[in-house]
RNA sequence: GCCCGGGUGGCGGAAUGGCAGACGCUCAGGACUUAAAAUCCUGUGACCGUUUUCGGUCGUGCGGGUUCGAGUCCCGCCCCGGGCACCA
């Protein structure tokens, strides 16, 4: 029998699985379902990297294990294929994005298939397929047709809102101008409804990225730059589509509690939603009337409010507005430090607004110094009627709360800093608890007891908050308020490669949903899909597609539009929406489509949804980078679908695990000046940057701390360094510290590992095995080529253990009913049979232990220790002369989820004509708890917690017997001498401790 | 600054409060070989003593505590990674 040669067996088995549909999932009501899901990839032009197969292998192991354990498993894969990178590439190479996308998908699919994942490929989905995005559009229309009822905390159909308006059960909004519903015309009714829909359009400042030619969601902007490409992003007013995710903020927050997700991930979502409890407080404007409303989380400190601050963009300080509060002359007695060398408040405010507008988010963050301008206006503190000055400052953000604050410098660091700069009064209203080490200091931000606060005095901070809210509410000066940081989701993009919105704009300015029968609304085939260079989307150029004739159907206040040929009676001219949806749209619901991917009547058959989604997806694995984007968006969509009765579970993903990043191979970097003289890593600036050196290899550049001289770091051979204490140093010069770490894989570093290369050299099974053997799934870990060789050697040993002894013979033996033993077709001699019996007895208990260990470890996703257990068992097999068939089959059965190709091949070889078509169809082996422990155990004996010796006992010995044996042991007896034993402790099967 | 993770040999890591370092890598020595590779065997936390069998001491970031017993639990620090951050 030839040795282990992965390339000759892997393709073969992939074909057999495919041809026999081994992994197809159909509803089998008798079996419990198990839905195991991967985050589907964005098929980039780069192809797979080793990070993809990490999570995919983990889910594949669980899928294969669960199938064997009697579950009906759904394990699908698909493509998240709309989006910017493909479009950017298409523009650069002047290829249609559809062509680029198709090519990338084909590449990804063949790469994934080469790894041998047990996907049900008949369920493959592709977000750019019109038959898929037809339902993305349809679900968007459900959002468009839903309003959020705050009383019921639930999304309801627009028709129910109309009914409530009609019956007068619900009051119309103020914008309806005191009219009743039937008095409004159709256009007015549509406008009222727009204010309630979960999908709505507004003209508002948005994140515009000139380089990408599109707007971006808040979540896609990091430090004022686009997440994709790192281009600058500006705030600009534009008409945009928004999704009212804020309505679901509380539901999204509450839903997290019951989910089996990591605490850190839940925390990220909680932070993003950003709930804070406080109050809205109304401050009257002095001498002028009107008021300013602020949001505060510390209503208890209202007596300490000594001034107010508005954001520079606040409407009340808009110098062009009618109702602005900025004074035209400095009030009498304005101190010079408030005047900022300006002739009037108007000048000061104008100058400050200009300065603030020119500062980027980044600059604002980096510079924490407090600046501002006095508006010349005063407000009245509603609780003590004090006159307090009103300032503007960019430390107050228009985007949070009301864009205005009451400043309490004694109990807020920022207010304290501003008050110090402007010489404003600071009034302590909270006294710290006695044990608080910060007691004497200001500002005091921690809770304590109210002081200088009239009727609040003596109350704890929590009590004072409550009482203040009551006082405010009684006098109509304010209300309790829960505020969320999360903003509505900006949902439109000015790009070509996305789902078109199924919406029609009428000439009267109202917007109407397209009729369901007209879905999918496909992207027009255009030659020129490039950004227009203006703020108009590329679809603007598809004039024919863009201008249409429609007829309206249904309730005139809430109609649907059908595009008809020109000249159709009743048709009116209209335009299509030209924006497209963002990349996240398709991934918001793909896990639902897998259940019924070819359905042309619904996004998913309700019966199938009920079966597969009961309790949600059972296991979802993917990268942590989607913590607040995809995972929040799809929870939102899911909850809307749930409210509308379209899905049966309130949360989509019951258990979620983030796989850890895989870093490049560990590198040792030694630093030197340009002269070549070594510099210790301890003596250089820890801020590195990288570049490509003259020899084409990547270099690290930094500077020498003492002199500032340029220092160049180059990779050095691990054999030239050694560890001294905490650090690595050069063997040649122990004074020179070397930087030792692993870097994120990147093209520029040249440390990217391509799975194709690993498969070509070691096979898919070794790739899978190593990815799992590296360490815990969720942990960040460095790649190691030597490690891949390690698992490859393990697989070779398994192969040789079963198929080739040292002399090249089959080593697997089986016993016939007549009691005789055979190795293949050869009967064993009497002497050999005796050996076989002994081997079978020797391996019995290790075999049960193996099954037990692997079973439990897969359940807790501890794949690395499962593999260790298999290695140990295989090492035990190597010590035998013969390998009993049962031991071999069980090893292969538990190996199959991890390394399926070799398991299949060996199974076929050793079981000959009895073999079933695939080992994957065999049930998972059972183990006997009693056979998992050895018959005799070595038990360590300690005296006062110190190891003295060990005794050998029968496994099921009673405590008393064991202790007697311990005391009888000569080693122990000698140590004990005649000291009295105070306490005897026996932990069953573990150890003995004698306390003297 | 706030909130999560995490710190165990040369490296990746293992260990329901019960023999720390499983398993793998690396390295060293040996066997096989004309030789090399591959393979197999042995050893591989540090220090000390015998320098061969063997024996001893220390050891899970640091300092304390609980416990018969702590890598594991509690308190206080240090360091690393990640997230959020002028969010009122």
State which residue has its Cα closest to the C1' atom of B3: A267
CB A45 within 8 A of CB A561: no
- A420 pLDDT exceeds 70? yes
Lowest mean pLDDT among A287-291, A499-503, A687-691: A687-691
**Diameter of chain A measured on Cα atoms:** 117
pLDDT above 90 covers a percentage of chain A that reads 58
Residue A198 confidence (pLDDT): 96
pLDDT in tens, A355-414: 887 776 656 666 678 889 999 999 999 999 999 999 999 899 888 889 999 999 999 989
Could you say which residues 302-331 of protein chain A have a Cβ atom less than 7 A away from any atom in strand B?
311
Task: Categorize the per-residue pLDDT at A60 as very low, low, confident or very high, splitting at 50, 70 and 90.
Answer: very high
What local confidence, expressed as pLDDT, does residue A996 receive?
78
Has residue A79 got a pLDDT over 90? Answer: yes
| pLDDT at site A695 | 66
Q: Is A862 near strand B, with its CB below 7 A from some atom of it?
A: yes
> Which positions on strand B lie below 7 Å from a protein C-beta?
3-5, 10-16, 18-20, 22-27, 38-41, 68-70, 81-84, 86-88
Any long-range contacts for A758-761 (C-beta under 8 Å, 24+ apart)?
A: A758/A50, A758/A788, A759/A6, A759/A10, A759/A114, A759/A115, A760/A7
Query: What's the CA–C1' distance between A715 and B57, in Å?
Result: 39
| Å from the A38 CA to the B47 C1' | 50
Strands A78-79 and A125-126: parallel
The answer to whether residue A968 scores a pLDDT higher than 70 is yes
Closest CA to A125 of A539, A598, A799: A598
**With 80 as the cut, is the pLDDT of residue A224 above it?**
no
- pLDDT band at A682, cuts 50/70/90? confident
pLDDT tens per residue across span A521-542:
999 888 777 776 777 778 887 8
Query: Which H helix or E strand runs over A467?
Result: helix A461-474
pTM score:
0.92
pLDDT at res. A269: 92
Q: How many Å does it take to go from CA A881 to C1' B31?
A: 20
Q: Which residue has the higher pLDDT, A833 or A541?
A: A833
Cα–Cα dist A924/A66, whole Å: 9
- The span from the CA of A604 to the CA of A859, in Å, is 30
Sheet (strand A33-38) strand order: A72-74, A33-38, A619-622, A656-658
At residue A941, the pLDDT reads: 87
Residue range A94-145, pLDDT digits in tens: 889 999 999 999 999 999 999 999 999 999 999 999 999 999 999 999 999 9
Answer yes or no: is A4 CB < 7 A from strand B: no
What's the pLDDT at A859? 94
Bridging pattern class, strands A662-663 and A781-782: parallel
The angle formed by the CA atoms of residues A899, A902 and A905, to the nearest 5 degrees, is 140
pLDDT at res. A586: 95
A370 touches strand B (CB under 7 A): yes
């Amino acid at each position: 029998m030839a040795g282990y040669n992965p390339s000759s067996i892997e393709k073969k088995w992939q074909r057999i699985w495919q041809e026999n549909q081994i992994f197809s999932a159909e509803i089998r009501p008798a079996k419990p379902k198990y839905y195991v899901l991967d985050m589907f990839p964005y098929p980039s032009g780069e192809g797979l990297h080793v990070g993809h197969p990490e999570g995919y292998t983990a889910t594949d192991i669980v899928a294969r294990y669960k199938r064997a354990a009697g579950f009906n498993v759904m394990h699908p894969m698909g493509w998240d294929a709309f989006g910017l990178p493909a479009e950017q590439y298409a523009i650069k190479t002047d290829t249609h994005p559809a062509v680029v996308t198709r090519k990338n998908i084909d590449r990804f699919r063949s790469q994934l298939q080469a790894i041998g994942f047990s996907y049900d490929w008949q369920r493959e989905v592709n977000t750019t397929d019109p038959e898929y995005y037809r339902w993305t559009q349809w679900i968007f229309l459900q959002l468009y047709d839903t309003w959020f009822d705050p009383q019921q905390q639930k999304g309801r159909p627009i028709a129910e809102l109309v009914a409530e308006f009609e019956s007068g059960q619900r009051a119309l909004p103020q914008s309806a101008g005191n009219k009743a519903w039937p008095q409004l015309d159709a256009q007015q009714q549509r406008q009222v409804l727009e204010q309630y829909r979960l999908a709505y359009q507004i003209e508002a400042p948005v994140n515009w990225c000139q380089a990408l030619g599109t707007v971006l969601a808040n979540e896609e902007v990091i430090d004022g730059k686009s997440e994709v490409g790192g281009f600058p992003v500006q705030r600009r007013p534009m008409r945009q589509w928004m999704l009212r995710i804020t309505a679901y903020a509380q539901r999204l927050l509450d839903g997290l509690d019951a989910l089996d997700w990591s605490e850190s991930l839940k925390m990220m979502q909680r932070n993003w939603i950003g709930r804070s409890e406080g109050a809205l407080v109304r401050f009257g404007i002095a001498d002028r009337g009107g008021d300013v409303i602020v949001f505060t989380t510390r209503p208890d400190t209202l007596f300490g409010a000594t001034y107010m601050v508005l954001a520079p963009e606040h409407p009340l300080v808009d110098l062009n507005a009618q109702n602005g509060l900025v004074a035209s002359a400095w009030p009498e007695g304005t101190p010079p430090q408030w005047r900022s060398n300006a002739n009037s408040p108007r000048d000061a405010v104008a100058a400050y607004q200009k300065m603030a507008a020119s500062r980027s988010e980044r600059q604002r963050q980096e510079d924490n110094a407090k600046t501002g301008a006095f508006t010349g206006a005063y407000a009245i503190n509603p609780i003590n009627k004090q006159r307090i000055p009103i300032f503007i400052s960019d430390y107050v953000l228009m985007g949070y709360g009301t864009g205005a604050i009451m400043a309490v410098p004694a109990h807020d660091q920022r207010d304290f800093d501003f008050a110090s700069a402007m010489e404003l009064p600071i009034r302590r209203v909270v006294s710290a608890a006695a044990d608080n080490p910060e007691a004497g200091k200001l500002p005091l931000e921690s809770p304590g007891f109210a002081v200088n606060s009239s009727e609040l005095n003596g109350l704890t901070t929590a009590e004072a908050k409550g009482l203040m809210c009551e006082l405010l509410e009684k006098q109509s000066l304010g209300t309790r308020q829960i505020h969320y940081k999360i903003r509505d989701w900006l949902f439109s993009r000015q790009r070509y490669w996305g789902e078109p919105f199924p919406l029609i704009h009428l000439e009267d300015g109202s917007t109407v949903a397209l009729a369901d029968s007209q879905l999918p609304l496909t992207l027009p085939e255009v030659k020129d899909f490039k950004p227009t260079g203006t703020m108009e989307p590329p679809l603007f150029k598809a004039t024919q597609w863009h201008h249409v004739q429609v007829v309206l159907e249904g309730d005139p206040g809430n109609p649907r539009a059908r595009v008809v040929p020109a000249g159709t009676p009743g048709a009116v001219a209209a335009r299509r929406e030209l924006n497209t949806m963002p990349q996240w749209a398709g991934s918001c619901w793909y896990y639902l489509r897998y259940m019924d991917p070819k359905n042309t009547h619904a996004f998913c058959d309700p019966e199938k949804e009920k079966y597969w989604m009961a309790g949600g997806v059972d296991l979802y694995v993917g990268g942590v980078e989607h913590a607040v984007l995809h995972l929040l968006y799809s929870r939102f969509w899911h909850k809307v679908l749930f409210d509308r009765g379209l899905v049966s579970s309130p949360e989509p993903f019951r258990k979620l695990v983030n796989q850890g990043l895989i870093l490049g191979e560990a590198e040792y970097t030694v630093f030197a000046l340009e002269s070549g003289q070594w510099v210790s890593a301890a003596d250089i600036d820890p801020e590195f940057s990288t570049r490509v050196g003259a020899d084409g290899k990547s270099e690290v550049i930094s500077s020498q701390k003492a002199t500032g001289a340029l220092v160049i770091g180059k990779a050095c051979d691990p054999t030239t360094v050694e560890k001294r204490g905490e650090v690595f140093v050069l063997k040649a010069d122990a004074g020179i510290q070397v930087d030792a770490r692993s870097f994120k894989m990147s093209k520029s570093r040249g440390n990217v590992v391509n799975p194709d290369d690993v498969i070509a050299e070691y096979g898919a099974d070794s790739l899978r095995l190593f990815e799992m053997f590296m360490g815990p799934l969720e942990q960040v870990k460095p790649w190691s080529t030597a490690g891949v060789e390690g698992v490859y050697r393990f697989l070779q040993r398994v192969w040789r253990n079963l198929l080739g002894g040292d002399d090249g013979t089959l080593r697997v033996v089986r016993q016939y009913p007549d009691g005789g033993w055979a190795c293949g077709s050869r009967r064993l001699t009497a002497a050999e049979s005796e050996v076989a019996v002994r081997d079978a007895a020797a391996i019995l208990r290790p075999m049960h232990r193996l099954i037990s260990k692997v079973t439990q470890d897969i359940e807790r996703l501890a794949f690395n220790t499962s593999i260790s257990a298999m290695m140990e068992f295989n090492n035990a097999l190597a010590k035998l002369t013969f390998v009993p068939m049962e031991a071999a089959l069980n090893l292969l059965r538990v190996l199959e989820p991890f390394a399926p190709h070799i398991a299949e091949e060996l199974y076929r070889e050793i079981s000959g004509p009895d073999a079933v078509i695939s080992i994957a169809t065999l049930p998972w082996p059972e183990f006997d708890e009693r056979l998992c422990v050895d018959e005799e155990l070595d038990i360590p004996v300690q005296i006062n917690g110190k190891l003295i010796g060990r005794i050998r006992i029968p496994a099921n010995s009673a405590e008393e017997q064991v202790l007697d044996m311990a005391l009888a042991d000569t080693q122990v007896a000698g140590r004990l001498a005649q000291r009295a034993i105070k306490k005897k402790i026996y932990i069953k099967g573990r150890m003995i401790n004698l306390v003297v």
